[in-house]
Amino acid sequence: MLNFRNTGIVVILLLAALIACDVQYDISAWWYVLLAFMYSLILFYGSYYVGSNFYIPVICSADITVKQIAISFDDGPMEQYTPEILNILKEFKVPAAFFCIGSRIPGREKLLQQLHTEGHLIGNHSYSHHALFDLFSATKMQQDLQQMDATMQSVTGLKPLLLRPPYGVTNPNLAKAIRKGGYTPVGWNIRSLDTVIKNEEQLLQKVTKSIKPGSIVLFHDTSKTTLAILPSFIRHVTAQGYSIVRLDKMLNLIPYA
């Protein structure tokens, strides 16, 4: 299994072999460059592919055969689109998971409470969602995640146990913060790219073509395009015989402490 620990061991062994060959045969320095380059590529893959399980296991789908999927929304709550998305979900009687940014809760407490009272799951998506979050120390990351917990708990009385890594990026520091905080990291296997795709037909096609039992779809409740295609998406998947269930139910996870 390709993970951070095993890869590190292999690289150390290869480096030792290179050094031995260098002493014996005076090999080119380019072999060291090649090893460093390959190691960097593997680290990049492990960090930026949320389903790699490179630093820590991240649940990205359910291993089921029944035709169920879960939908999730990142980066809210926001006044511009979250209420309208909630109205659509209520109309179709569809539950969803909302991985919220803690700094967006103050001033929107009623909206966060509405997410909970209407039966949706609320998860931790960090407090700051800082652009440099991935460079934080493990201690600073844990403090950031705990700040989100405290903010949510002050509004709903609930402490989230499910965490979606900011930007979907993982690294050794985040893995340590997740373990210390007792979180279960949850990713996705269908990324809508709704923050980039502005064409409604293109977005709908992208998120529907890969649907299969156990899929977790990533949307953003900050996206106008997602708001526009959400009713059509729900109609499409239900017409295909799928039911949309709440994420924690599909994955059989405990959502709150």
pLDDT value of residue 135: 96
Residue 34 neighbours by CB under 8 Å, 6+ apart: none
In the numeric block, which tokens belong to residue 255? 């959502």
Cα 114–184–171 angle (5° rounding)?
Answer: 115
DSSP 8-state class, residue 186: B
Q: Name the pLDDT band for 1 (thresholds 50, 70, 90).
A: confident
Q: Tokens 């949309």 correspond to what residue?
A: 244
pLDDT in tens, 141-170: 999 999 999 999 999 999 999 999 999 999
Task: Please classify residue 194 by burial: count the beta carbons closer than 10 Å to its beta carbon, then call 0-12 exposed, 13-18 middle and 19+ buried.
Answer: buried
Residue keyed to tokens 């620990």: 5
Residues 190, 216 contacting (CB under 8 angstroms): yes
- Under 8 Å between Cβ of 139 and 114: no
Give residue 39's pLDDT. Answer: 96
Q: Which tokens is 200 given?
A: 């409604």
32: tokens are 């060291």
Residues 196-220: what's their mean pLDDT? 97
Q: In whole angstroms, what is the distance from residue 163 CA to residue 100 CA?
A: 10
Query: Which 8-state DSSP code applies to residue 180?
Result: H
Write down the pTM of the prediction. Answer: 0.95
CA–CA separation, 197 vs 211, rounded Å? 18
Q: What is the pLDDT of residues 73-112, one digit of tens each?
A: 999 999 999 999 999 999 999 999 999 999 999 999 999 9
Q: Which residues pair with 184 in a beta bridge?
A: 162
